[in-house]
């Protein structure tokens, strides 16, 4: 059973979300503001949460601040609940660590599709088999980055790197096609499994997060390269040297 944390100060929305999620066999935990959500994630209950639905505008602590705090200790998927007019909040939310967003009033089918997609990705990323045999096909190495697709683990120069499910999928896409340039829309379609207007800014935010985790100097990347006007690629073989 998947456990979902709903954080929203509007009781009607929490009630509707609870009905949707429980009808799909999921268990719901709720919080009425960001502060409560952070406290839940720091408690033993937080270890069993598989996804968070987080409203942006809330009293005491808003959703943006709560996400930033949660991201210090957890890579659990976070889907923002935003109003149509909150475009700035969407960008800021993705910047601080949200994986996706759903616009209010939300469609039940779309909401559940996004929830299931994020949980599936998170579950796969966290799957670690102690007796599994890792084959060469499961390992991708480019420079100092090593991706173990069997264990869903990434290391940089031998040190483990903690990635969100979306960050992992983007990195895997680029590493399995070294030197190939993918446009933001191609990345979004491949990773999110859907088409969307505004994919450029969404993908750019996640690429920036990857650079912050995989590049010693994110302003002068060695691995994740932007090709002006076309998209992104990961360098083949040995990455280019950093400028001195």
Top pLDDT among 128 and 117 is at 117
pLDDT of residue 54: 95
Lowest-confidence pick of 2-11, 165-174, 176-185, 212-221: 212-221
pLDDT digit string, tens, across residues 97-122: 788 888 888 888 888 888 988 888 78
| Residue closest to 189 by CA, chosen among 208, 202, 175 | 202
Question: Quick check: do 3-126 and 136-234 share a fold?
Answer: no
- Cα 42-43-48 angle, rounded to 5 deg: 95
pLDDT of residue 131: 34
Residue 241 has pLDDT above 50, yes or no: no
CA–CA dist 89, 76 (Å, integer): 20
pLDDT digit string, tens, across residues 24-61: 999 999 999 999 999 999 999 999 999 999 999 898 89
Chain centre distance of CA 46: 17
User: Which token pair is 242?
Assistant: 């950093």
Hey, where are the domains in the chain? 3-126, 136-234
- Has domain 136-234 been given CATH number 1.10.10.10? yes
| Residue closest to 171 by CA, chosen among 193, 150, 153 | 153
CA–CA dist 68, 144 (Å, integer): 28
Residue 129 has pLDDT above 50, yes or no: no
| Helix-helix angle 108-126:165-175, to 10 degrees | 70
CATH of the structural domain 3-126, one choice from 3.40.718.10, 3.40.50.720, 3.40.50.2300, 3.40.50.300: 3.40.50.2300
Residue 147: phi and psi, rounded to 5, are: -115, 120
Top pLDDT among 127 and 60 is at 60
* Prediction pTM value: 0.63
Please provide the average confidence, as pLDDT, over all residues in the chain. 84
Residue 132 has pLDDT above 70, yes or no: no
CA–CA dist 12, 119 (Å, integer): 24
Contact of 215 with 221, CB cutoff 8 Å: yes
Pairing of strands 139-142, 145-148: antiparallel
What is the torsional sign of CA 74, 33, 119, 22?
A: positive
User: Which token pair is 97?
Assistant: 């660590």
């Amino acid at each position: 059973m998947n456990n979902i944390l709903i954080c929203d100060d509007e009781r009607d929305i929490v009630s509707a979300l609870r009905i949707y999620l429980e009808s799909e066999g999921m268990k719901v935990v709720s919080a009425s503001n960001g502060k409560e959500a952070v406290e839940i994630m720091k408690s033993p209950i937080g270890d069993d949460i598989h996804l968070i639905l987080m409203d942006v505008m809330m009293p005491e602590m808003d959703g943006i601040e709560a996400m930033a705090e949660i991201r210090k200790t957890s890579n659990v998927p976070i889907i923002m609940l935003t109003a149509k007019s909150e475009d700035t909040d969407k960008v800021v939310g993705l910047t601080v660590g949200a994986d996706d967003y759903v616009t209010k009033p939300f469609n039940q089918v779309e909401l559940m599709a996004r929830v299931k997609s994020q949980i599936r990705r998170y579950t796969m990323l966290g799957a670690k088999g102690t007796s599994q045999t890792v084959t060469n096909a499961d390992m991708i190495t480019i420079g100092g980055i090593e991706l173990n697709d069997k264990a869903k683990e990434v290391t940089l120069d031998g040190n483990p790197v903690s990635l969100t499910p979306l960050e992992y999928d983007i990195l895997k896409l680029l590493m399995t096609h070294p030197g190939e340039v993918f446009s933001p829309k191609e990345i979004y379609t491949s990773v999110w499994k859907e088409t969307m207007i505004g994919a450029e800014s969404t993908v750019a935010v996640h690429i920036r997060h990857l650079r912050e985790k995989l590049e010693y100097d994110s302003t002068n990347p060695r691995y994740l390269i932007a090709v002006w006007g076309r998209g992104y690629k990961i360098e083949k073989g040995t990455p280019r040297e950093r400028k001195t």
